[in-house]
Amino acid sequence: FPIISVSLVDLSVMHCNKIIGEFVDSINDLDKAEIHIREALTVDPSYIPARISQSVLLHRAGKTPDAIEGLEQVLSETSTVKGSARIQFRLGHLYEIMKNSAQAFEHFLLANQAQATGAHDAFSATRFRDFVKSIRETLTPEFAASWPKAT
């Protein structure tokens, strides 16, 4: 397994905040959704699913150029093929909305090329789902009650 710079609790908080943000967004409360997405990003600013969710919120708030700028920045920072493909696809979609067909085509093409390489991140989606499931099974109210109280 690769060394991960955040703790398991931080990872679960990050993932949960992303999920909560997306849920709140789905019921059209963009302000609450943005709060939860930002909380996920405070744990790990490079967390690609949260950055993509943030771009969706920015677009829905009428700030599509800001969404594009944020994803372009993340793209320059990411080193994973899978992450790059997801960001390229989202950028293609945003440029398509902005009626910039040339940029949209370029990003869709790059997303497809990244996907076609067959490269996968070391931390696969299946392993991540299993990881989240194990956290959910472990972090019960009874388990939390057993923790020492802060003094």
Other C-beta atoms lying within 10 Å of the C-beta of residue 4: 11
Residue 114 tokens read as 């990244």
CB burial of residue 32 (10 Å; 0-12, 13-18, 19+): middle
Round to the nearest angstrom and report the end-to-end CA distance of the chain. 35
pTM for this entry: 0.61
DSSP state string for 55-87: HHHHHHTT-HHHHHHHHHHHHHH---HHHHHHH
pLDDT (tens digit, 9 = 90+) per residue, 71-114?
999 888 876 766 788 888 899 999 988 998 888 888 888 888 77
pLDDT(8) > 80: no
- Cα–Cα distance for residue pair 68/142, rounded to 1 Å: 44
Give the per-residue pLDDT at 1.
36
